[in-house]
């Protein structure tokens, strides 16, 4: 079984924006794919559910 998860990297770029990645996991092996999109600091303050 495989899963796909959106990930925000913790390290910002020079403009203070965080890159968005997709993590693909299959048979306990993960790969990361950069989407080429960034999110600003004010948008990053999102709480995890639960």
pLDDT of residue 1: 84
Residue 8 lies in a domain: yes
pLDDT of residue 3: 94
Residue 50 lies in a domain: no
pLDDT of residue 8: 87
Say if residues 23 and 30 touch (Cβ distance below 8 Å): yes
Residue 48 lies in a domain: no
Backbone angles phi, psi at 22, to 5 degrees: -115, 130
d(C-alpha 29, C-alpha 36), whole Å: 22
Number of domains observed in the structure of the chain: 1
The string of pLDDT tens digits covering residues 1-50 is: 899 999 988 888 898 888 999 999 999 999 999 999 998 866 555 555 54
List all residues 6 or more positions away from 19 whose beta carbon is below 8 Å from its beta carbon: 8, 9, 13, 34, 35, 37, 38
Give residue 8's domain range: 2-43
- What pTM does this model have? 0.68
Residue 17 lies in a domain: yes
């Amino acid at each position: 079984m495989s899963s796909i998860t959106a990930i925000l990297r913790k390290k910002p770029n020079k403009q203070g924006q965080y890159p968005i990645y997709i993590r693909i996991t299959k048979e306990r092996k993960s790969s990361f794919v950069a989407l080429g999109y960034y999110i600003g600091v004010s948008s990053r303050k999102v709480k995890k559910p639960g």
